Copies of this chain bind each other. A is one copy, B any other.
Amino acid sequence: MNFCQACSIRNRAICADLDDTEIALLNRIGRRKNLSAGESLLWEGDQAVFVANVVTGMLKLSTTTGDGREQILGLSYPSDFLGRPYGERTPYDAQALTETTVCVFRRVDFERFAHEHPRLERKLLERTLGELDRSRRWMLLLGRMSAEERLATLLLEISERLAASTCGGDASPLDVFELPVSRQQIADILGLTIETVSRQFTRLREEEIIGMNGRRDVEVLRRDLLEAIVG
């Protein structure tokens, strides 16, 4: 059987440009894998044995200092690529935040395939360049923004990426959405503590810039103000 043909990210992931023959070949070297929330796919420092594509669900990529302080490097949404081709070691932990399905390849198989199919390699290059831009924007956040600016930036980014990953095209950002992460994880994404994050949520709620239903359901009431905070 051939997963790829029915794959929900067939037209958005790095395999988008491949024709049916190529897809059939790629299908043969990959396999689906389901992860439950909390389960890890990659461990920082391990031999880089696998690479993967996110099909459904969401993961966090993170790294840790020697004494246990965590920094989340990014969230991976459907169609995102995971792992470290052309490298010895996996540079980060990857852990599922929700029920997640990924499409896994042995790194050597994937590299051989990419080698023979430059269109795939180009897609991967484009994606990697995009990731690099995104991670550099995050450096500005971590290096120079206040707690309020950081949370506002994250809320806007999540609302945009969730729209993009659910609706396929470049849909307009969601005004109502569920946070895919806990307060502690938000703190680890933003380089803050959980208490500071909680206080900033309270503030945004008090100023009626956002509304919340329970701990994870966010409604953006004043996108303009949120954008003004980011600057």
Q: Which A residues are closer than 8 A to B by beta carbons? A: 61, 63-67, 69-71, 73-74, 84-87, 91-92, 115, 118, 121-122, 124-126, 128-133, 135-140, 142-145, 190-191, 231
Q: How far is the CA of A73 from the CA of B141 in the complex (A)?
A: 11
On chain B, the residues within 8 Å of A135 by CB distance are 132, 135-136, 139
The CA of A169 and the CA of B44, in the complex, are separated in Å by 26
19 contacts between A and B (CB under 8 A): A61-B136, A63-B139, A64-B140, A65-B145, A65-B231, A71-B143, A73-B139, A73-B140, A74-B136, A84-B129, A86-B126, A87-B129, A115-B122, A121-B121, A124-B125, A128-B128, A132-B132, A132-B135, A139-B142
A140–B190 Cα distance when bound, in Å, is 11
Q: Give A205 Cβ to nearest chain B Cβ, in Å.
A: 25
What is the minimal beta-carbon distance from A82 to any residue of chain B, in angstroms? 12
A63 to chain B, nearest CB (A): 5
A130 and B91 alpha carbons, distance in the complex (Å): 10
Given contacts A118-B121, A121-B122, A125-B125, contact A136 B86 (CB under 8 A): no
Determine which of B64, B122, B128, B139 lies in contact with A71 in the assembled complex, contact meaning CB atoms within 8 Å: B139
Instruction: Given A64-B140, A73-B139, output 11 extra A-B contacts at Cβ < 8 Å.
Output: A65-B140, A65-B145, A71-B143, A71-B144, A86-B126, A91-B137, A118-B121, A124-B125, A128-B129, A135-B135, A139-B142
B140, A71: Cβ atoms closer than 8 Å:
yes
A139–B138 contact, CB under 8 A? yes
Please give the distance in Å from A156's CB to the nearest CB on chain B. 14
Residue pair A231, B66 in contact (C-beta under 8 Å)? yes
Given A135-B136, A140-B71, do A125 and B86 touch, yes or no (CB 8 Å)? yes
